[in-house]
Amino acid sequence: MDKTRHQALNFQSMVVACKNSEAKAIEAFGKAVLLFDTSDSLILHISEYARLLEVGEHALSDAYYTLRPVFEAMAETVQVITWEDPLWPVQTKGFAYCPRFLYVRGDISLLGKPAISIIGTRSPSLEGLASAAVTANAIGSKGYVVVSGLAKGIDGVAHKTALSSGFPTMAVIGTPLESCYPLEHQALQQEIAEKGVVVSRFAPSEITQKWHFLLRNRLMSALSLASVVVEDKDGGGAVRQASFALEQKKYLFVYQSSLDNRSVLWPRQFADQPRVFVVKKSQDIPRLLAKALDQNAGLREKTGNKEEKPLQLDLFSL
């Protein structure tokens, strides 16, 4: 294994040893980085790791030897990056639940390029499907990476439209890279890895849980300048990502057609909030986003750009 993969193995062993408290593992790992080489075998520094994590050495060694074969079997096509890596997407720094490592397959440079998420329901209307395709074309044609979550419905249409039009696309998934959900999108995931990029915050040893997809949505929002909710029901995953986007001080786009739909409440809950744009046409999205980014850049020049400190919360407080 290379150094970064061994670091990731050590970190994931810490997560398992402290009963899946990623926040606790991140804090301890951050201290370990300052004390010794965290790319060494965990066993060489097991007493220090145990002290920093406040767990027994047996729990750490058991986790390490259980996980090691899984990390050793990771495909060569997988790139593992950590906060200290120059390829780490800087736009994710300072947001809640920021992962310590990312697992990437494909064109890793896309993580640092301007991107917009297109999100929505897994059971869209015909109008929603058409709107997702038009939105992907409008965004991709202006040079933005089309980001989505590989789900059925709106996500799948956004990815497929970008691929067919020759635009870069990024799939942020809720499973390890070695898995695929839904299974029907296995070929699509492979095509995105070949022509775009697939990114996961989940180690190859992770067993996928339902709440992992909320973490996926948080990461997807953080990687993007803005999120566009094409169509969703109240309480849907896209609506949750809309909340995450505003929490992260990103931009949110909602279609007027959603606002006019009286069968759902969520559009009216967002419509009057700062950083939210209600649009009629997909072509308005790149123009309004560019204007907002220019205004925000000008404001930072006047007031000074103060970098926010990363916020880490326990995964189970989602």
pLDDT in tens, 161-182: 999 999 999 999 999 999 999 9
Distance of CA 60 to the CA centre of its chain: 28
Which residue among 18, 43, 73 closes a domain?
73
Residues facing residue 130 across a β-bridge: none
Instruction: Report the pLDDT value the prediction gives residue 296, as an integer from 0 to 100.
Output: 82
**DSSP assigned state of 95:** S
Distance CA 64, CA 8 (A): 11
Q: Is residue 80 part of a domain?
A: no
- Please state whether the peptide bond connecting residue 182 to the residue before it is cis, i.e. omega within 30 degrees of 0: yes
Residues 53 and 187 in one domain: no
Which of the two residues, 263 and 303, has the higher pLDDT score?
263
Q: Is residue 312 part of a domain?
A: no
Residues 108 and 64 in one domain: no
Is 170 in contact with 115 (CB distance < 8 Å)? yes
Residues 65 and 200 in one domain: no
How many domains, the chain? 2
Residues 287 and 160 in one domain: yes
Instruction: Report the pLDDT value the prediction gives residue 196, as an integer from 0 to 100.
Output: 98
Residues 208 and 116 in one domain: yes
Q: What ranges in 2-125 are assigned the alpha helix state H?
A: 3-17, 22-35, 46-53, 57-72
Q: Using pLDDT thresholds of 50, 70 and 90, give the confidence band for residue 311.
A: very low
Q: Is residue 180 part of a domain?
A: yes
| Residue 38 structural domain | 3-73
Edge-first strand listing for the sheet containing 197-200 = 79-82, 101-106, 197-200, 169-173, 145-148, 115-120, 226-231, 251-255, 276-279
Q: Which of 219, 144, 236, 111 is nearest to 174 (CA)?
A: 219
Q: Using pLDDT thresholds of 50, 70 and 90, give the confidence band for residue 93.
A: confident
Is 283 in contact with 259 (CB distance < 8 Å)? no
> Which string of b and e fits 283-309 if b means at least 16 CB within 10 Å?
bebbeebeeeeeeeeeeeeeeeeeeee
Is 223 in contact with 173 (CB distance < 8 Å)? no
CATH number of the domain at 253, please: 3.40.50.450
Residues 295 and 146 in one domain: yes
Query: pTM, whole model, 2 decimals?
Result: 0.93
Percent of the chain residues past pLDDT 90, beyond the cut: 91
Residues 63 and 113 in one domain: no
Instruction: Report the pLDDT value the prediction gives residue 318, as an integer from 0 to 100.
Output: 33
**DSSP assigned state of 318:** -
Instruction: Report the pLDDT value the prediction gives residue 305, as an integer from 0 to 100.
Output: 55
Q: How far is CA 197 from CA 53, 106, 131, 179, in A?
A: 34, 4, 23, 15
Instruction: Report the pLDDT value the prediction gives residue 308, as an integer from 0 to 100.
Output: 40
Q: Is residue 52 part of a domain?
A: yes
Q: What is the pLDDT of residues 23-61, one digit of tens each?
A: 999 999 999 999 999 999 999 999 999 999 999 999 999
Q: Is residue 141 part of a domain?
A: yes
Which residue among 44, 73, 102 closes a domain?
73
Distance CA 180, CA 41 (A): 30
Q: Is residue 315 part of a domain?
A: no
Residues 128 and 271 in one domain: yes
Residues 59 and 96 in one domain: no
Residues 212 and 275 in one domain: yes
Residues 69 and 122 in one domain: no
Q: Using pLDDT thresholds of 50, 70 and 90, give the confidence band for residue 300.
A: low
Residues 27 and 113 in one domain: no
Q: Is residue 84 part of a domain?
A: no
pLDDT at 313 over 50: no
Q: What is the pLDDT of residues 220-273, one digit of tens each?
A: 999 999 999 999 999 999 999 999 999 999 999 999 999 999 999 999 999 999
Q: Is residue 104 part of a domain?
A: yes
| Residues contacting 298, CB < 8 A, separation 6+ | none
Q: How far is CA 225 from CA 8, 13, 260, in A?
A: 27, 33, 25
